[in-house]
Structure 1
Amino acid sequence: MPKTWNNLLNIGKYVLKEEKKRNNTNLIAFNGYFNKFETGSSSLFEFIYSYRNLLDDTLPSLDSQTAIDAVEMIKRLKDEISSDDIYLMSLSQILNNVYDGNVLFFKFYYMPVNNDIIDFAILPGEKEGISAADIWSYNIGINNAISEERKKRSAIALSYINSKQIQRKMTMEKKFYSAITSLYDEKEVCEILNCSLFKQIQPIVLSSIINNNYIEYSEKVYQYFYEYMFENETSAKKTLKRIVDINKIYTITLDTQDTSIGLIFFITIIVITFIIIMSFFIFLINSILDYFDFIPIDFWILIVVGTLMVLVVGILNIGKVTAMKCYFKQMILSLGYLLNVIPILYKFITEYLYKSKFALWMNSHFSHRYLFLLGCISVNLIFSFCKFFFPYDIETLIINDGQNFQICKMNSIYGKIFVFLNYIYIFIVILICFLLIIKERKVEKHHFIIGNLFPIIYLDSFFLIIYYIISLLHIYQFFQCFILHESILILFAISNYSVLLYVTNIIIKNNNEYKHKQKTTINLVKLKFETNYVVTTADLDDSNNSFNTEFTDSHINTFSNK
């Protein structure tokens, strides 16, 4: 009997060749047993299990090279010593050919057969000593709804059926194999059964490995396998990848085994964060922020902190989805946005509504602006804190012929209310900013503030709304969904900080122009004053006049050379 699949292939090729010389074209060298309605998917896993390296190894990973080699060998056996029709034969068709003496090797489940032409053996493996056998069993349970007395009687009956004595009797009379392995050490049992064969079996119980719906899973596995084996639509590697994707839950990580997207975006976020922090420190060191007198420096710092918080959400999107991550992502994103907008809202209120009691109160003491900031943030934090008592659920999206992934889902009605109130609050802040911009857009003295701060409000609001809309939509392409979320957050940070740099440039430019005009005006005033001094001393004597004229000329020349 062949010990390896290569050995079986070589024997099959040789026998078929010799039988053809005798005009026997009906011989079946190997059936494979990949019938759809019986054991197609289990035969696939059984074959892959026979390709493991060591005896005690588990089922090889389906996306491993070992599994690819096994699947390619299945197809090679079909192409070289079998056919599509033979691989798809039912057990009854194969047995008919067996009894007619037209089968060399055939694979099927063990059953008591009184026929001397059949010699049972374990399946071959990729290497000698390695085999596989898919084990099916029946489960017997006791109804939990019955009385305690009936439960006890049922337990006694089950104990009797599973006792070694009854198992020995069934094994010897019906020639069925028992799960009590010690029976195969008994001489009287081995006189009836092939105990040596059973001891060599290397079982795999697929139903215990696959935790999900086994029947539904098996149907999908066979569908993908069939397309590869009998329709030649794809490769072994792609077929196994599709099978893996049936149950696999994809997450974006820094590992590049599935994709390098996570690592690319992580590095991108770190680089952008580093650039923002370093450039901002340069501003502080060079006192560039001193030019930002129309918004307090500490509020400019808050805008930068808010921008960095939005980038933190991008990092939280990497890794396994958890309820805590869902909670913190929403809280940090809304807080980061508010830290970008509230300092500008503060400027709008104190500039446009400067006669109002609220504006006068904020301008009366510098600490009042912190109270205003704290009040605005507190509303958001209250909503976020309330959501903590109604945690997010993790929903798994099953994608047919795609990547399954998980999303945050708020199923609690109270949690949904607080999420909605949080959205409404942010919308109100946006609305107030835009109403103030519309109200004051025609006032000429406010053109500079509106022209330079409006892009920040507009871009931040635009990207935030788009991000929330995409989060509410079900996008069933996992990688595209991740890229879209990350890109929006990165664009939010880049556009926001770019506008700040632009405003910085405009302010510095305007300040330099103002200083240049101021210096020119001072110089002209000096020149005019000294000229007047010469005219007013005309009545002095000639010697004094000569001295003053020389002094004035030299002074004017000195000034003009500066």
Structure 2
Amino acid sequence: MANEFNKYSIKNQLNITIEVNYFSRLNSTGYVDDYATMLEILVKQKKPKYDLYFYDNVFSIKYGPYLEDLRKWIPSEHFEIYESGIAPKSCVYGKKWVGLPINIDITFLYYNHNFLNKYNKRVPTTWNELFETGKYILEEEKKLNNTEIVIYNGLFSRAEIGTCSLYEFIYSYRDSVDSSFPELQSEESKNAIEMIKKIKDELSSNEIFQSNEMFTGSKFSSNQFLFQKFWYFPSITAYKFALLPGRKEGISGSVIGGYNLGMSKYINEERRNAAITAFKFLTSKELQKKMVLENNVISAIPSLYEDDDVCSFLDCDIFKNTQLTNRPTNKISDYDEYSKKFREYIYDYLYGNKTSTEVLKSIDDITRIYSISFDSFLGVFVFSLTIFFSLIMLSSLLYLKVEKFSFRLNFLSKSLLILSVIGGCIFLNSLNTEIGEIKKIRCHIELIMLCIGETLNIVPVLCQLMINFPEENKYSRWISNHKFIFVSIFVILSIIESVLMFIKPYNVKKYRISNGELYRICEIDSNFGKVLIFMIILNKSFVYLCLGFLIFVEWSIKETSTDLKFLLSAIAIDILCLLIHVGLKFTNLKNKYYNIYFAVYSALIFIYSFSNYMFLYGLKYFICFIKIDNENEIIIKNMYKQYNNKSNAQNLNTQTSQSTPNTQFGPGTQFSQTSPSEFGVISNDSLSSNKSKGSGLHGISKKIMAYHNQESLTDSNTSMNVKKSTLSNSQIYN
């Protein structure tokens, strides 16, 4: 080829000469690893040492990043003669044409017409026919003491030719000529490799099937074979060849070998222009036709096999009807590794003890990305539970309009309670981002839902506890009058923290778990991301510390006694869930047993969300739902209504100068405390007295204990009536 171009260059005064450096192997297909390594080193150097590369067509994916997109420099009509053939499958990297075929290799079924004529058998067109014909002739030849005959060689060796043989055999089991390669775990693939094993066990042997091309060549010489699969060699003139059989007549399959020509993307403009001229000549239809006629090569230009000159020299029908496929070069970037595993897994079935189903799944698992899908039991179960529990939580809010229920739910105001329940639902539904294909955006959405959901779920409780603080202070008054602003501050902070993660976004990495399945998992690699996650955890921990402190301070207040016990239980469960989740991270369970990890993680999210709902709202709702009104409850309701009417008629500015903090008793009701001693309440005077008696840490601790021992939030003017005629919330809920 180089000589042809050099002659052409001299004739046309192009002043361009091709010099070829050879990498020589007797059979490069059998030594694909060595050849690939050498050429990979050359192209990865990104040096303008070579202008054009001849490379094995299985490596368009591997070398594609280092080769020029030829469509930028060569007219589209030059590619049109190749597009109807196998070239688009073997020369394209992404959307770039990084090469064109110089030649292709094809395997055919060579047959010994002497044996077929002797037993009046035709050339088989299906694998079943090959099996039946081979079995009959083998038995007949055994009767004649011919034990040397090879019925079918297979070429299922440990080298690259073994992958070719396996791949084209499975391809021949597709449903129709136009069907794509069968799914690896399909019945077609299963039936294909089971037929290979059947032919081996009954017509051949492990030794014959694992033999290399040298063994096949020796059988050509000895005439002791019936059928042999082999590459097209014009020099084999003593035997005829046909298309390889298929699952049914009219279907065949042959894997291509051969070489492509590509152009380096690291050469300067002058050398690139010269390379383009040479490239167009070497891949032109005229030179390809000359090579077919003079060198008996197979061209990847389909229209050549309709040319009268070519068809007078070759049997064009067999070449036109060849059903070609390329090897699975686009499965992963490292085709060599994939090819080895592909054949070794199937050989565990052909020559070992594993089942066809097991080995096909193992091959499929090399590249298949698994996920917790909406088709899986676990995915459907988790998704259904999140929707079911979310509907329960949200629909129960409708009962806030019913006086019987809303009267008892007097710890949080209606607005704060609604925010808390919505937050729990958002937190719970973050699980659904883990179902389906994992992408970067899903990783970020999950973090946003977790942060905002947890904030909305817990901060309303913090807001109410700060309002209920035993000592009057400007912060509690401000929060009481600006509940939504208080909650919004924390929500905005959560949003900012989540959005900042986009600066150094999540990475989606692939992990192969213990059973060989491949999963995508969200990972944070950057130090910025890790610091930000730490800050988020620190922020949430601060909120929980504040909750713990306020629960301790308000622990003895009778009006909220039951609520605080419920709240403490919820916080304890939240912390336990967090500790278990952290423990899972240290066990590396996520990267080894992803399904188990997801099940445990889902359980933790469910427990967190639903326990918070039950302790803050749900249990009270169910108690209200099943409890029959009793006398004390009626008294409380009447008192509440009477006081409400009285309170509305009073001018709040006439409160005594000794009043203590405004607090809530029932939704929206405010009381002023003028005689705290009635219920053991710590007044401002007594608090001031305590403060004067102690200083530093000792004084602070005494003050905190004074808060802790306070028993009521009610006004002294109404406390006696309340004490005589009502029960505390803790009694009501019992």
* One-letter identity of the residue aligned with 2:233: M
Instruction: Using CA pairs under 8 Å that are at least 6 residues apart, name the structure with larger relative contact order, 1 or 2.
Output: 2
In 1, the alpha carbon distance for the partners of 2:573 and 2:547 equals 13
In 1, the alpha carbon distance for the partners of 2:293 and 2:264 equals 31
1:242 paired to 2:358 = no
In 1, the alpha carbon distance for the partners of 2:430 and 2:142 equals 70
In 1, the alpha carbon distance for the partners of 2:403 and 2:636 equals 22
1:409 paired to 2:523 = yes
| Number of equivalences | 512
1:252 paired to 2:366 = no
Residues 70 and 341 of structure 1: is their aligned pair in 2 closer, same or farther, counting only changes over 3 Å? same
What fraction of aligned residue pairs are identical, expressed as a percent?
Answer: 32
Which segment drifts farther, 300-309 or 482-491?
482-491
Unmatched segments (≥5 aa) in structure 2: 1-122, 638-734
| Cα distance, 1:303 vs structure 2 | 1.9
Aligned match for 2:447, one of 316, 324, 330: 330
Contact 1:467 1:485 in 2 (8 A): yes
Alignment of 1:335-374 (within 5 A): 335-362=452-479, 366-374=480-488
Which segment drifts farther, 329-338 or 5-14?
329-338
| Cα distance, 1:516 vs structure 2 | 7.6
1:485 paired to 2:606 = no
Which segment drifts farther, 236-245 or 477-486?
477-486
Residues 263 and 446 of structure 1: is their aligned pair in 2 closer, same or farther, counting only changes over 3 Å? closer
Alignment of 1:381-400 (within 5 A): 381-399=495-513
1:213 paired to 2:331 = no
Name the SS of the counterpart of 1:78 in structure 2: helix
* One-letter identity of the residue aligned with 1:254: F
Residues 513 and 84 of structure 1: is their aligned pair in 2 closer, same or farther, counting only changes over 3 Å? farther
Name the SS of the counterpart of 2:519 in structure 1: strand
Contact 1:390 1:412 in 2 (8 A): yes
* One-letter identity of the residue aligned with 2:431: G
In 2, the alpha carbon distance for the partners of 1:85 and 1:176 equals 32
Contact 1:28 1:105 in 2 (8 A): yes
Contact 1:307 1:337 in 2 (8 A): yes
| Cα distance, 1:55 vs structure 2 | 1.3
* One-letter identity of the residue aligned with 2:226: L
Alignment of 1:61-72 (within 5 A): 61-72=183-194
In 2, the alpha carbon distance for the partners of 1:321 and 1:38 equals 34
| Cα distance, 1:158 vs structure 2 | 2.5
Aligned match for 2:437, one of 310, 320, 328: 320
In 2, the alpha carbon distance for the partners of 1:386 and 1:164 equals 57
1:139-192 alpha-carbon deviations (Å, 9 max, x no partner): 222223223222222222223322334333332333222223333334554454
Aligned residue for 2:120?
A: none
In 2, the alpha carbon distance for the partners of 1:317 and 1:244 equals 23
* One-letter identity of the residue aligned with 2:337: E
Aligned residue for 1:450?
A: 564
Contact 1:245 1:401 in 2 (8 A): no
In 2, the alpha carbon distance for the partners of 1:186 and 1:357 equals 96
Residues 301 and 513 of structure 1: is their aligned pair in 2 closer, same or farther, counting only changes over 3 Å? farther
1:147 paired to 2:268 = yes
1:293 paired to 2:415 = no
In 1, the alpha carbon distance for the partners of 2:548 and 2:406 equals 26
| Cα distance, 1:341 vs structure 2 | 1.7
Aligned residue for 1:537?
A: none
In 2, the alpha carbon distance for the partners of 1:183 and 1:444 equals 96
Aligned residue for 1:261?
A: 378
Residues 345 and 165 of structure 1: is their aligned pair in 2 closer, same or farther, counting only changes over 3 Å? closer
Aligned match for 1:463, one of 547, 559, 577: 577
Contact 1:246 1:401 in 2 (8 A): no
Unmatched segments (≥5 aa) in structure 1: 520-562
RMSD of aligned Cα (Å): 2.9
Name the SS of the counterpart of 1:106 in structure 2: strand
In 1, the alpha carbon distance for the partners of 2:597 and 2:233 equals 52
1:457-498 alpha-carbon deviations (Å, 9 max, x no partner): 222333245446646854332322332222222222232223
Aligned match for 1:185, one of 306, 322, 328: 306
| Cα distance, 1:29 vs structure 2 | 0.7
TM-score (norm 2): 0.65
Which segment drifts farther, 41-50 or 317-326?
317-326
* One-letter identity of the residue aligned with 1:12: G
In 1, the alpha carbon distance for the partners of 2:462 and 2:286 equals 86
Name the SS of the counterpart of 2:592 in structure 1: coil
Residues 496 and 105 of structure 1: is their aligned pair in 2 closer, same or farther, counting only changes over 3 Å? same
In 1, the alpha carbon distance for the partners of 2:356 and 2:245 equals 21
Aligned residue for 1:227?
A: 348
Alignment of 1:80-159 (within 5 A): 80-116=202-238, 118-159=239-280
Greater strand percent: which structure?
2
Aligned residue for 2:33?
A: none
Aligned residue for 1:379?
A: 493
Name the SS of the counterpart of 2:219 in structure 1: helix
In 2, the alpha carbon distance for the partners of 1:16 and 1:171 equals 38
Residues 209 and 390 of structure 1: is their aligned pair in 2 closer, same or farther, counting only changes over 3 Å? closer
In 2, the alpha carbon distance for the partners of 1:353 and 1:108 equals 92
Aligned residue for 1:419?
A: 533
Alignment of 1:11-90 (within 5 A): 11-90=133-212
In 1, the alpha carbon distance for the partners of 2:387 and 2:136 equals 63
Alignment of 1:164-203 (within 5 A): 164-203=285-324
Name the SS of the counterpart of 1:105 in structure 2: strand
Aligned residue for 1:551?
A: none
Name the SS of the counterpart of 1:131 in structure 2: coil
Residues 312 and 401 of structure 1: is their aligned pair in 2 closer, same or farther, counting only changes over 3 Å? closer
Contact 2:332 2:367 in 1 (8 A): no
1:217-249 alpha-carbon deviations (Å, 9 max, x no partner): 11111121111111122x222322221111111
Aligned residue for 1:529?
A: none
In 2, the alpha carbon distance for the partners of 1:246 and 1:278 equals 46
In 2, the alpha carbon distance for the partners of 1:241 and 1:40 equals 19
Contact 2:163 2:343 in 1 (8 A): yes
In 1, the alpha carbon distance for the partners of 2:136 and 2:377 equals 48
Residues 239 and 422 of structure 1: is their aligned pair in 2 closer, same or farther, counting only changes over 3 Å? same
Greater helix percent: which structure?
1
Name the SS of the counterpart of 1:408 in structure 2: strand
* One-letter identity of the residue aligned with 1:461: I
Alignment of 1:431-446 (within 5 A): 431-438=545-552
* One-letter identity of the residue aligned with 1:338: T
* One-letter identity of the residue aligned with 1:240: L
Contact 2:329 2:335 in 1 (8 A): no
In 2, the alpha carbon distance for the partners of 1:303 and 1:376 equals 13
In 1, the alpha carbon distance for the partners of 2:256 and 2:142 equals 37
| Cα distance, 1:38 vs structure 2 | 2.9
In 2, the alpha carbon distance for the partners of 1:337 and 1:287 equals 29
| Cα distance, 1:445 vs structure 2 | 8.3
In 2, the alpha carbon distance for the partners of 1:138 and 1:85 equals 31
Name the SS of the counterpart of 1:305 in structure 2: helix
* One-letter identity of the residue aligned with 1:10: E
